[in-house]
């Protein structure tokens, strides 16, 4: 996850830091939307069907050496 790209980082051991991140999202719908879109793009890029194609390409390249 990229800070400010697909989410916000907060130390789970510091409840105040988690609360600050939540409040930041609640007070900025545009930021929440941007992070949501970034998270979706990140998840779509790692769909298992795509991962399988990536692995096939890597393994095919190794096998052809």
Query: Where is average pLDDT lowest: 9-13, 29-33, 53-57?
Result: 53-57
Domain that includes residue 38, residue range: 15-63
- The answer to whether residue 10 sits within a structural domain is no
Rounded Cα distance, 4 and 60, in Å: 36
- The answer to whether residue 58 sits within a structural domain is yes
- The answer to whether residue 2 sits within a structural domain is no
pLDDT at 2 over 70: no
Rounded Cα distance, 47 and 7, in Å: 19
Q: Is the pTM of this model over 0.75?
A: no
More confident site: 64 or 19: 19
- The answer to whether residue 52 sits within a structural domain is yes
Task: Name the domain count of the chain.
Answer: 1
The pLDDT assigned to 16 comes to 96
- The answer to whether residue 7 sits within a structural domain is no
pLDDT band at 4 (very low <50, low <70, confident <90, very high): low
More confident site: 54 or 8: 8
More confident site: 30 or 1: 30
The answer to whether 45 and 9 have CB atoms below 8 angstroms apart is no
Residue with tokens 């390249």: 61
């Amino acid at each position: 996850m990229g800070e400010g790209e697909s989410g916000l980082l907060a130390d789970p051991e510091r409840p105040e830091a988690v609360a600050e991140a939540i409040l930041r999202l609640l007070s900025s719908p545009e930021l929440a939307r941007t992070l949501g879109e970034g998270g979706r793009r990140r998840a779509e890029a790692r769909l298992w069907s795509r991962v399988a194609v990536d692995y096939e390409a890597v393994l095919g390249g190794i096998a052809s050496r």
